[in-house]
Copies of this chain bind each other. A is one copy, B any other.
């Protein structure tokens, strides 16, 4: 790279930085608990929530996790995070609804998980709450959608809540601050690869 090229690059990047700085300065809300929804058929909905747990712990936050849909699973993330000081972990789902084959049991499990979620929302020490696979419980109407959304909307203003699971309901998306659709451009399951420890659980 010649000196002229280097200088051209410097000028271009200086302009880019000015644009970037103006954009950052245009944002006026500096601290706000968010309602975050991770949905879609792609990989990364729950792992992104657990990545956020790690991030929050690194800033000294206390974190709550309620799992609505993974009762039977002894996952790697649970093993690591459950024992962390500052994490209140609750795996209360009974597993996939086609495993239990008992709707009354599914509803009871979802209700007990939601009761725990509401208790954690009341705990002022908690700054981040992950409601893992809550979307599944809402989709199968194991919980009353409007009540759940209203409770999430009227939570304390400094509490960030992350809801995961496919097929997020429109009412929840409407109430959320940040919604990410994890789109599967390519998935190894389609190529015949099984779910693996360390990758899928």
Query: Which residues in B have their C-beta under 8 angstroms from that of A198?
Result: 55-56, 58-59, 61, 127-128, 160
Give 1 or 0 for each of A179-200: 1 = CB within 8 Å of chain B CB.
Answer: 1111111111101111111110
Q: Report the bound CA distance from A76 to B128 in whole Å.
A: 13
User: Contacts A98-B13, A185-B173, A185-B179 known; A80 to B51 CB distance under 8 Å?
Assistant: no
Say how far A196's CB is from chain B's closest CB, in angstroms: 6
Q: Report the bound CA distance from A73 to B176 in whole Å.
A: 27
Say how far A182's CB is from chain B's closest CB, in angstroms: 5
At the interface, yes or no: A97 with Cβ under 8 Å from chain B? yes
At the interface, yes or no: A154 with Cβ under 8 Å from chain B? no
Say how far A146's CB is from chain B's closest CB, in angstroms: 20
**Interface range, A side:** 35 or more
A80 and B104: CB pair below 8 A? no
At the interface, yes or no: A34 with Cβ under 8 Å from chain B? yes
At the interface, yes or no: A77 with Cβ under 8 Å from chain B? yes
**Residue of B whose beta carbon sits closest to that of A51:** B47
Central interface residue in A9, A10, A42, by most chain B CB within 10 Å: A42
Complex interface residues of chain A between 98 and 156 (CB less than 8 A to chain B): 98-104, 127-128
A192 and B26: CB pair below 8 A? yes
User: Contacts A50-B51, A79-B58, A183-B180 known; A102 to B188 CB distance under 8 Å?
Assistant: no
At the interface, yes or no: A38 with Cβ under 8 Å from chain B? yes
Give 1 or 0 for each of A24-49: 1 = CB within 8 Å of chain B CB.
Answer: 10111111101010101011111111
Looking at the complex, which one of B29, B46, B187, B197 makes contact with A192 (CB distance below 8 Å)?
B29
User: Contacts A6-B103, A103-B1, A103-B9 known; A186 to B194 CB distance under 8 Å?
Assistant: no
**Residue of B whose beta carbon sits closest to that of A19:** B98
A54 and B44: CB pair below 8 A? no
A-B contact pairs, 9 of them (CB 8 A): A1-B104, A6-B104, A17-B98, A27-B194, A28-B192, A36-B43, A50-B51, A177-B188, A178-B186
